[in-house]
Amino acid sequence: MINTQRTTPAPERIAILLMPQFSFAGLGAMLDPLFIINWLAQEPRFKWQLLGSDATVAASNGVPLSVATEWPTPAELDSVFVLASFETKTYTGDKRIAMWLRQCAAAGVALGGIEMGSEVLAAAGVFDDHQVAVHWDNLEGFRELYPRIQATRDLYRIAGQRLSCAGGTAVLDMMFAWLTPRVESPYMEELRNHLLERRQRRDDSEQLSAAPEHHVETSAQLRKVIRTMRRTLEAPLSAPAMAALVGLSPRQLERRFKAELGVSPIRYYLWLRINRAHRLLQQTDLSVAEVANCAGFGSLEHFSRVYRRFFDCAPSDDRLQSRDAPVVPVRLFPVKR
């Protein structure tokens, strides 16, 4: 037992709203630190309840959880977290959810979004004019849908009564940061010991550190070309123009790409463009023609043909980000193996 002298506070009251196909790992990363602090303190510092629209909500891994369908009033809560991963478009228009979240916001309840739970909060209008950490795979679609929100590549953001987390292992980083001002230092140290995690990444640590342009092994010339590619997906540059950026001939640039990434620069460029199209199709309501234009395809027929080659389906058949939706086959990944 840790010896601390203090007055027992009222427990912090937390509601966790689970959307169908939420991340089971994300929920565990939230709840385990709360449980451990309660256990170490031998008192309920935190009380939480799981909520949902139906009596049972299944996680993305298929595990079902029982939840409460009668939601507490804002006066009964201190914080609300929303967890979502797949098929977010199917419930961002849910009026009951939006109204309840807006009532919580008006009452001063802290609101947090985990992974695509942030989109549920954004759709309710309670994240307007805030910085929001969004998972890299959803960033382009999120920015298209919510221009009033500053979507970032940060791991998580905590700003007053608004919290957001890109998901994955960053949930634990966010929980450490969120708990630190609420819990005595000895308890936090012991929490880290029990979770076997001594580090805590900063909130503004950027995602996608594994992308080739961030590798120290990737040459400076290729890093510059890839960054330019990402900025010009709507109007792709020609091979000679890309090579000229770094003082190489097209043939030299191709040899460099194949040596470092295992693919040609044109193939890598195409992979970036088709993945933008894939995300915009699944995450937004843009038409197929608009998506094709955003990915630099002047011909809808050419776009459809290339899309089928990558995803084995027509673009019009890939309009929802779900567990069963197509993904890029590993054999097509442009990374040298």
Give 161-183 pLDDT, tens digit per residue.
Answer: 999 999 999 999 999 999 999 99
Residue with tokens 């290729």: 222
pLDDT the model gives residue 8: 65
pTM of the full predicted structure? 0.89
pLDDT the model gives residue 5: 54
pLDDT the model gives residue 6: 52
Residue with tokens 């929100």: 149
Which of 158, 270, 155, 165 has its CA nearest to residue 208? 155
Which of 274, 263, 285, 268 has its CA nearest to residue 313? 274
Taking CA atoms, 334 is separated from 83, 260, 275, 328, in Å, by 32, 10, 12, 11
Q: Parallel, antiparallel, or unpaired for β 46-51 and 12-18?
A: parallel
Which of 205, 196, 126 has its CA nearest to residue 160? 126
Which of 180, 202, 201 has its CA nearest to residue 191? 180
Q: Parallel, antiparallel, or unpaired for β 150-152 and 131-133?
A: parallel
Integer distance in angstroms from the first to the last C-alpha of the chain? 50
DSSP per position, 271-299: HHHHHHHHHHHHHS---HHHHHHHTT-S-
DSSP 3-state of 114 = strand
CA 69/CA 3 separation, integer angstroms: 40
pLDDT the model gives residue 213: 78
How many CB atoms within 10 Å of residue 37?
23
Q: Parallel, antiparallel, or unpaired for β 64-66 and 56-58?
A: antiparallel
CA 15/CA 74 separation, integer angstroms: 10
Q: Parallel, antiparallel, or unpaired for β 12-18 and 79-84?
A: parallel
Q: Which residues of the chain have pLDDT under 70?
A: 1-8, 208-210, 330-337
Burial 146-168, CB ≥16 within 10 A → b, else e: beebebbebbbbbeeebbbbbbb
* Helices 185-194 + 24-41 axis angle, to 10: 130
Q: Residue 85: left if φ>0, alpha if ψ -120 to 50, beta else—which one?
A: alpha
pLDDT the model gives residue 337: 47
Burial 77-86, CB ≥16 within 10 A → b, else e: bbbbbbbbbb
Instruction: Classify residue 36 by its DSSP letter.
Output: H
Taking CA atoms, 55 is separated from 67, 109, 115, 336, in Å, by 5, 24, 22, 47
Residue with tokens 């990434």: 261
